[in-house]
């Protein structure tokens, strides 16, 4: 049995065949750690970032336990957004098809924006797998169109986003209607305190898998550009000339900033899509369809709108505004350099971003300090270089001034004389400082 391959897991032959057709060469780190434990029925908290392979970390073990002979729901998969639920459902359908189980295993997608009566009618043929948003699944359960009591596994994907968007109450109500001994598989990029309290309510001694080294893969490059007095739109236009992206995600910190920036970039002639929480479901669906058909080169987005959406082919991430928290920088970065591909994160920074930059450097992210001139990258000073030099010069000036003999009586030319003394002392102090450094 070959190590570091999917064949090391006790998966059914059909699933191994599906893995080959999906062109998965070897398990990702989270798959390596989660699959064996999930196969044994253990509850798991998987903490990892976008692009780590978490969807198949739970789908493969769950599918290996489905009994096609049982006419009941055997696993429930919840996601915070329709888009993510739809993407997971596509993965579910592929797994069923590629493993040769089209006639044996059935799955249903339950999301808003679809007719409830027709959905309830379709559920008369009981699916083995239910994928959907918590609100719509709960509606079907409350209408008694669906029973999830027999399910032996329940997945909460993007759990921190469930908290952010206020859907954790619906998840709570679904779990109340489930078996007490249900296997719970929770995946989240972060574990905020409110989520911790929720998990303690339902999970006893779960396996906690945290993947840290996904912060900055070797194939990911991080560039910092000082914004200074320049506008974000002008700088992004200059960056666009240098990078010529396949697809770039441009992040802002609010819907208003996203609206303003996308309008500015469209005005400058760029192909730009807009993605934020203020869009109606119909607009959002249209934008995502346009993204899939490669209509845009740039997508201006906010953090919450882009979470839970797997946008393929992102070659560059541009932070028009750096986020306030490290986790959001890492989420954004995870949009590119996926599946071993190369990627670049370019951030416009201001003085107030320096604390965040320091924290990210402490986490091991290496930034290249750059600027754009005449259509190409140029090197720029590190953010702290100038301030450090100024501080050092000021310290030496102060020390030198203390050593200058002050004249008791003021005579003509006294200022010039004292300045000359200060410069002389300063030179001596600078030499001493240089000597200490060499030693």
pLDDT score for 1: 41
Q: Nearest-CA neighbor of 250 among 315, 173, 197?
A: 315
Q: Nearest-CA neighbor of 174 among 147, 196, 201, 203?
A: 147
Give the chain's mean pLDDT: 85
Mean pLDDT of 376-384: 84
Mean pLDDT of 189-195: 83
Give the span between the Cα atoms of 71 and 128, in whole angstroms. 7
pLDDT score for 67: 94
- Degrees, nearest 5: CA angle 162-165-171: 40
For 437, residues 6+ apart whose C-beta sits below 8 A from its C-beta are none
Give the span between the Cα atoms of 60 and 82, in whole angstroms. 22
CB 99 within 8 A of CB 12: yes
Query: pLDDT digits over 224-258, tens only?
Result: 999 999 999 999 999 999 998 899 999 999 999 99
Identify the weakest region by mean pLDDT among 56-60, 69-73, 379-383.
Answer: 379-383
Identify the weakest region by mean pLDDT among 24-28, 252-256, 411-415.
Answer: 411-415
Six-digit token string for 221: 């490059």
The DSSP H or E segment spanning 349 is strand 343-349
The 3-state DSSP class for residue 250 equals strand
At what angle are helices 82-98 and 13-21 packed, to 10 degrees?
120
DSSP at 370: E
Six-digit token string for 265: 């970039």
pLDDT score for 339: 58
CB 89 within 8 A of CB 131: yes
- For the cut 90, the answer to whether the pLDDT of residue 33 exceeds it is yes
pLDDT band at 74; cut points 50, 70, 90: very high
Q: Nearest-CA neighbor of 334 among 53, 45, 24?
A: 53
Identify the weakest region by mean pLDDT among 180-184, 189-193, 298-302.
Answer: 189-193
**Cα-only R_g, the chain:** 28
How many residues belong to the chain?
439
Q: Nearest-CA neighbor of 425 among 396, 392, 398, 400?
A: 400
pLDDT band at 436; cut points 50, 70, 90: very low
CB 321 within 8 A of CB 253: yes
pLDDT score for 3: 46
- For the cut 70, the answer to whether the pLDDT of residue 198 exceeds it is yes
Of residues 305 and 169, the one with the higher pLDDT is 169
């Amino acid at each position: 049995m070959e190590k570091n391959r999917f064949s090391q897991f006790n998966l059914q032959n059909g699933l191994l065949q599906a893995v080959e057709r999906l062109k998965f060469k070897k398990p990702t780190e989270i798959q390596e750690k989660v699959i064996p434990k999930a196969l044994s029925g253990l509850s798991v908290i998987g903490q990892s970032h976008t692009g780590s392979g978490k969807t198949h970390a739970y789908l493969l073990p769950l599918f290996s336990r489905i009994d096609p002979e049982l006419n009941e729901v055997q696993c429930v998969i919840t996601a915070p957004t329709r888009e993510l639920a739809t993407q997971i459902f596509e993965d579910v359908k592929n797994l069923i098809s590629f493993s040769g189980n089209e006639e044996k295993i059935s799955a249903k997608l339950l999301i808003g924006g679809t007719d409830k009566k027709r959905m309830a009618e379709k559920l008369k043929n009981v699916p083995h797998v239910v994928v959907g948003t918590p609100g719509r699944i709960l509606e079907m359960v409350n209408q008694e169109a669906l029973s999830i009591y027999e399910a032996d596994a329940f997945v909460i994907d993007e759990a921190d986003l469930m908290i952010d968007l206020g859907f954790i109450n619906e998840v709570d109500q679904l779990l109340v209607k489930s078996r007490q001994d249900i296997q719970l598989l929770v995946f989240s990029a972060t574990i905020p305190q409110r989520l911790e309290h929720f998990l303690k309510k339902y999970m006893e001694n779960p396996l906690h898998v945290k993947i840290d080294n996904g912060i900055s893969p070797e194939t990911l490059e991080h560039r910092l550009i000082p914004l200074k007095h320049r506008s974000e739109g002008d700088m992004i236009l200059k960056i666009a000339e240098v990078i010529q992206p396949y697809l770039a995600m441009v992040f802002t910190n609010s819907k208003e900033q996203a609206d303003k920036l996308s309008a500015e970039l469209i005005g400058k002639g760029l192909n730009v899509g807009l993605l934020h929480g203020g869009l109606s479901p119909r607009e959002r669906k249209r934008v995502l369809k346009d993204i899939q058909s490669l209509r845009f080169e740039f997508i201006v987005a906010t953090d919450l709108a882009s979470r839970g959406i797997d946008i393929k082919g992102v070659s560059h991430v541009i932070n028009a505004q750096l986020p306030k928290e490290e986790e959001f920088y890492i989420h954004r970065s995870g949009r590119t350099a996926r599946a071993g591909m190369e990627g670049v994160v370019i951030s416009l920074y201001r003085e107030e971003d320096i604390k965040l930059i320091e924290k990210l450097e402490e986490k091991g992210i290496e930034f290249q300090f750059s600027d754009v001139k005449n259509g190409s990258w140029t090197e720029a000073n590190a953010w702290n270089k100038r301030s450090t030099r100024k501080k050092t010069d000021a310290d030496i000036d102060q020390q030198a001034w203390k050593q200058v003999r002050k004249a008791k009586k003021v005579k003509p030319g006294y200022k010039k004389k004292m300045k000359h003394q200060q410069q002389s002392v300063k030179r001596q102090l600078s030499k001493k400082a240089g000597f200490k450094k060499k030693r």
